[in-house]
Chain A
Amino acid sequence: MLGQYLPIVFLIVLAFLFAALSFFASRLLAPRSPNDKKEAPYECGIIPGREAPERFPVRFFLVAMIFIVFDIEIIFFYPWAIAHGEMGLFGLIAVLVFSLAVFESFVYLIGNGALEWGPIRREAQTGDVVSATRTTSTTVSRAGIRQVGLEGRTGGDS
C-alpha cells in the first residue's frame, strides 16, 4: 500500500542530499578571495554608477489584489454554474450574496485609487514617514567602491 510511495520518498531524500552536498562542497572546495568589486551588486559587469534616482511606488501588488478578488469569485462560480439547476433560487441568492461581498472589495480597491495610473497624486504628507533629511547618502552606505558620477555631490562616502 504505502510501498508505492517509496520512490517519491527516495527522490525527496536524494534531492535534499544533492543540494546539501553541493552546498557544502562549494564551501569546502572553492577558493575564497573576496574583494570589494566582487561583493558589489552585479550590474551587467559595470561598476554601479549611481543610485536609483528616487523611491518608486510598487503598484503591481494592487493589480495582483484585484486579480485575486476575481480569481476567488470565479473559483466559486464554476461549481455553482454546474449545479445551479438543482440549487434553484436558494443557490442563486446565496451566490449573489457571495459575489456582492467579493465585489465589494473591488469597489474598495477602486475607491482607494488602485487603478489610477496617471501622474502620482500627491497625498497630504503627514507625520514623518518620509523625512526631508532622508536621502540615499544617509540610508545607503557602501564599502569603498570607486563610484563615478559623484563629483559635486555632498555627503558621499567615496
Chain B
Amino acid sequence: MIAALTTPYVAWWALVPLITFAVAGFLLLTVASLVRRLPAVLAPAWTAVAGLGVLLYLVPMWSRVGRDGADSFLAGTVGVDRSSIFVTGILAVAVIAAALISRDYLPREDLPGVELYVLLLMSAAGGVVMASANDLIVLFLGLEILSIAVYVLAALHLRRIESQEAALKYFLLGAFSSAFLLYGIALVYGATGSTNMVRISAFLAQNVLVDDAMLLAGLGLLLVGLGFKVAVVPFHAWTPDVYQGAPTPVVAWMAAGVKAAGFAALMRVFVLTLGTYVSDWRPAFQVIAAATVLAGAVVAVVQTDVKRMLAYSSIVHAGFILVGLQAATDRGNSSVLAYLAVYAFLTVGSFAVVTVVSGTGDASHGLDAYRGMGRRHPALAGVFTVLLLGQAGIPFTGGFVVKLGVLAAAVDGGAYWLAGVAMLAAAVAAFVYLRLLVAMYLEEVPSGTETSGAVPLGALVVAVASAVIVLVVGLVPGPLLDLARDAVPVLVAG
C-alpha cells in the first residue's frame, strides 16, 4: 500500500473569479439544454451578473493580497498577485460589455441565443488562468481555453461566409502560434530544467549558462507564440481579416479581453520569469514595438472598412503597450496595465457603436455607413467621437494619459528613439480617427441610405459608459494610475 497522496494546498479564495466564470458558463449551458424556451434576456443577464460578481469580489481580494502579500498555490503552478487581479478585472469588464452588446445583436441577426455567452464565460475563465499562471504549462492551458472558445465565437455568425473564413484563419494561425509557444516552452524547459516560472527565474538568477543558445531559441519561440495572440507586427496579419469577419460583439471581446490576457502572459513570462535575460530580449521587443506602431498606423490610413481600420488601430495600440512592456521596470508594468484598462474601455465602446451602425446582417462597415452620422444619430456620434479621440490620444481623454505613461516608461529606460517613433505613429494614426470624424460630421448622408431606427439599449449603455470612463480617466487620472501602480506583478514560490 502506497501512502496517501498529499493533496496540494489550494487558496480557494483566490480561485473564486475563475470558478465563477467557469461554473456560470457550465450552468448556463446545462439550463439552456434542459429547458426548451428560455427568456431571451436570461443568458446576457446571467453573463453580465457573473462578470459583475467577479468584479465586486475582486475588491476584497485586492485588499487581502495587499495585506497578506501575493500567494502561490496548487503546487506552485498558480499564483495570485495584484496584477493578476487587475487583469481579471479588465476581463470581467470586457465580459460584461460583450454580453450587453450581444443582447440585441443576436436577436437582430437571428442567431442561436446561448452559445455565445457560454463561450464568452469559458474564454474569460481561460483568460483568468493565463493572468495568474505561475507555470508555463498552466499558462498554455489557459491560452488554449481562451483561444478555442474564441475560434468558435468567431464562427458564430452562421450565415456570413466571412465569419466562417475569419474563424478558420484565426484557428489555423492560432494553432500555429500554439505550436510555437509549446516548442518555446520545451526549449526553455530543456535549458533550465523546469516549466515553473519561479524556478526558472531562480535558476537563471543563480546560474550562468555557458551555452544559452537553447534558452534564447526558446525565448524567441515564446515571443512568436504570444506575439500572435496579441497581434504585433510581423504576427499581425490575421487581425484585420478576423476582426472584419467575426461577429462584432465577439470582436469587442477579442480586442479587449484576449489582448489583456495575452499581455498579462507576456509580462509574466518575459519581465518576471526571464527578467535576467532582459538585455537579450529587449532589442527584439523594441524593434517589434517600433514596427508594430508604424505598420499599424500607416496601413490603417488606407483602409476603407471601419472594422479593418479599428483592427489596425488595435495593432497600433498593441505596439504602444509593447513600448511600455520593453522597459521591464515597475513603472513600465504599471503603464502597461493602465493602458490595457483604458484600451479595454475604448475598444468595447467603439465596437458597440460599430455593432449598432453595421445594421442587420452585420455587413455595412464601410465609411459610407458613417457619413452624416452626426445628424442622424447625434448622441451615438458624440459618444463615438469621444472614443475615437481617446484612441487617438488627445489630451483630456484617458487615451492621452496612458499613452503618456508608456512613453514615459520608455524614456525612463533610455529608449528615446522608440518613444520618438511611437509619437510619430500616434500622429499618423490620429489621421485615421479624424477621417472617421470628418465622415460623421462634415460629409453628407449618401442618398439611398435608410435612416436606422432606435439605438439598442445594451450597446448604448456600453458605448456611453465607456466614453464617460475614458473622459473621467482623462480628467482625473489619479485613481487609475494609483491602482495600476499598486498592481505589481510578482512571482512567489509555492
Contact = CB atoms under 8 A, between A and B. Distances in A.
Interface of A: 83, 85-88, 90-91, 100-101, 104, 107-108, 110-112, 126-129
A88 B5 contact: yes
A68 B7 CA distance: 30
Contacts of A108: 29-30, 33
Given A85-B1, A88-B5, A110 B33 contact: yes
B34 A86 contact: no
Given A86-B2, A90-B5, A127 B159 contact: yes
Main SS of chain A's interface residues?
Answer: helix
Interface string B2-20: 1111010000000000000
A110 B342 CA distance: 42
Interface in B5-55: 5, 7, 26, 29-30, 32-34
B34 A88 contact: no
A101 B33 contact: no
Interface of B: 1-5, 7, 26, 29-30, 32-34, 110, 158-159
B30 A86 contact: no
B3 A86 contact: yes
A90 B75 CA distance: 14
Contacts of A112: 33
B4 A107 contact: no
A104 B30 contact: yes
Main SS of chain B's interface residues?
Answer: loop
In this complex, which of B2, B7, B34 has the most chain A Cβ atoms within 10 angstroms of its Cβ? B7
B29 A104 contact: yes
A107 B5 contact: no
Contact of B32 (A86, A101, A111): A111
A128 B159 contact: yes
A139 to B, nearest CB: 16
A85 B1 CA distance: 9
Contacts of B2: 85-86
Given A104-B26, A128-B159, A111 B110 contact: no
Contact of B5 (A86, A104, A111, A127): A86
A104 to B, nearest CB: 6
Nearest to A106: B33
Given A90-B7, A110-B33, 7 more contacts: A85-B1, A86-B4, A88-B7, A91-B5, A104-B29, A108-B29, A127-B159
Contacts of B1: 85
Contacts of B7: 88, 90
B21 to A, nearest CB: 13
Contacts of A111: 32-34
A108 B31 CA distance: 9
Contacts of B110: 126-127
Nearest to A90: B7
Nearest to A100: B26
Contacts of B159: 127-129
A105 B152 CA distance: 15
A101 B5 contact: no
B325 to A, nearest CB: 35
8 contacts: A85-B2, A87-B4, A100-B26, A107-B29, A107-B30, A108-B33, A112-B33, A129-B158
Contacts of A88: 4-5, 7
A111 B112 CA distance: 14
A2 to B, nearest CB: 18
Top 9 A-B residue pairs of the complex, sorted by shortest distance between their CB atoms: A111-B33, A90-B7, A108-B33, A127-B159, A107-B33, A86-B5, A126-B110, A86-B2, A87-B5
A102 B181 CA distance: 27
A90 B8 CA distance: 10
A107 B34 contact: yes
A77 B30 CA distance: 23
A126 B158 CA distance: 11
